[in-house]
Structure 1
Amino acid sequence: MTTDDTSISVQRTIDAPAKDIFEVLTNPERHAELDGSGFVRSDERTNRIGKVGDVFTMNMEGDHMGGEYQTDNHVTAFDENKMVGWQTAPAGTEPKGWEWLWELEPQGPDSTLVTHTYDWGKVTDEALLAKNLFPLVSESQLEDSLNNLAGASAS
């Protein structure tokens, strides 16, 4: 685990090949089952993530947004079987600077070290920063996401 003023990273070795884990991560239909924060409810568009620049929409719920809302997730990192990441924004708006990144490092044919990072270091909107929302997701919630990914990758 690594935490600094603008990011949190957690790691776990998962007993599954990187390609199987990547298949789960790049399928927005599966993100609700992975989410350790409890915010993600379902995907709105079910296209698999395929490249940097893709956008997928998620149905969300949280008190910080007054209940139900949607996010557009702009893919910022994509390296097949190695890395996928996106910046999140309220639906219909441009990303505000926080990013989710998943990095996969094979540890053999059936084992992968997964690093999950939540980074808000690119947020520049002073009004948003003044609300003290960051970090919106805790280290333990990121660890829960890794645990959920381990279960999802085994099935």
Structure 2
Amino acid sequence: MLATVVSASRDIAAPAARIFELIADPAQQPRWDGNENLAEAHAGQRVHAVGDMFTMALTLGVVRENHVVEFEEGRRIAWFPAEPGQQPPGHLWRWELEPLDEAHTRVTHTYDWSQLTDLKRIPRARWTTADRLADSLARLAALAEGS
């Protein structure tokens, strides 16, 4: 049976607030994307609450609207991507941050496609493995630890 929920965790030597800014500001996301799928997001879309939506241009040239469904400042953020003006097809990206102390944070990145309804997206969903999530975590760590 193929896992439809994959995740990876990493301890990062940076405060949770610094790491969260890199995640909650969509303009920063292409800098750490281990899937090499994100091209750019306009500045000024920083997420602040459930119900927020941000747009992202993908490397394939398409745009996604990302609907924020979980949010706790500095701790958790999750969104469902969708084609502009459409309902999300059911795959979720989640980030959870657990401060270990003032200068260290355990970060867990999860991709959940257990509710995916668009069969065309299944090959790409299968391609998104825990190793690719770990790549994003490694890039995120390099940015956060170098700040």
Give secondary structure in 1 for the equivalent of 2:114: coil
Give secondary structure in 2 for the equivalent of 1:134: helix
Match of 2:23 in 1: 25
- Residue 34 (structure 1) aligned to one of 32, 38, 44: 32
- C-alpha RMSD over aligned residues: 1.6
Give secondary structure in 1 for the equivalent of 2:116: coil
Distance 1:96 1:115 in 2: 23
Give secondary structure in 1 for the equivalent of 2:74: coil
Compared CA separation, residues 151 and 133, structure 1 to 2 (3 A):
closer
- Residue 14 (structure 1) aligned to one of 4, 12, 15: 12
Match of 1:49 in 2: 47
Q: How many angstroms does 1:134 deviate by?
A: 2.4
Number of residue-to-residue matches in the alignment: 145
With normalisation by structure 1, the TM-score equals 0.86
Q: How many angstroms does 1:47 deviate by?
A: 1.6
| Misfit runs of 4+, over 4 Å | none
Match of 1:64 in 2: none
With normalisation by structure 2, the TM-score equals 0.91
1:40-83 CA-partner distances (Å, limit 9, x unpaired): 0000453210000100000102xxxxx31010000011011110
Match of 1:150 in 2: 141
Give secondary structure in 2 for the equivalent of 1:101: strand
1:91-127 CA-partner distances (Å, limit 9, x unpaired): 22111100000000111110000000000011234x4
Give 1:135's aligned amino acid: R
Give 1:140's aligned amino acid: D
Contact 1:27 1:49 in 2 (8 A): yes
Which runs of 5 or more residues in structure 2 are unaligned?
A: none
Compared CA separation, residues 44 and 93, structure 1 to 2 (3 A):
farther
Q: Are positions 1:104 and 2:97 aligned together? A: yes
Distance 1:12 1:147 in 2: 8
Identity of aligned residues (%): 37
